[in-house]
Amino acid sequence: MENNNTLNLDALAPSRQPLIFNALAGHSIELSKGKFSESSLESLSKVGLTSIEITALEQGNSTTDTEQSLKIPDNSIPSSENNPFSKGKWNPDMQRQLHDTDPLLAQKLFREANS
C-alpha cells in the first residue's frame, strides 16, 4: 500500500472540511477499489460526514483499482492562522480559490497579511 497519498477533500464543501481536519488530521484512511474500508467508514461517520459526503469522497479519491492509504491533511482552510496571503503560508492556488468562493474572507485575510 502507498502511504504518501493525501486525501483529496475537494468533494466536500469548504464548510464541511473542518470536520475531518479537526478530528482526523494526520491520520490515514484506507481506500480499496474505490471504497473505504469499514474502519475508515466508521471514522468518517463518527466525525459527522453523511453517507452522500462519504460516497463523494470515495469517488473523488478513486484513481486506481489498488489499495491506497490516504493521509488526511492538516487544516488548510483559510483563516487568520492559516492565511494564504501571509509570507509564511503564501499559497496562490488557495488565494484564487478563496477569491472565487468567499471574496469577503479573501479581502479580510489579504488586509491582515499586509497590515
- Average of per-residue pLDDT values in the chain: 86
Is 3 exposed, middle or buried, given 0-12, 13-18 or 19+ CB atoms closer than 10 A?
A: exposed
Where are the domains positioned within the chain? 2-71, 78-115
Q: pLDDT value at position 2?
A: 41
The pTM for the full model equals 0.63
pLDDT digits (tens, 9 = 90+) for 87-114: 888 888 889 888 888 899 899 999 999 8
Q: pLDDT value at position 1?
A: 39
Q: pLDDT value at position 80?
A: 79
Rg (CA), the chain: 16
Read off the C-alpha cell for 34: 474505490
Q: How many CB atoms lie within 10 A of CB 31?
A: 24
What distance in Å separates the CA atoms of residue 43 and residue 47, rounded to the nearest whole number? Answer: 6
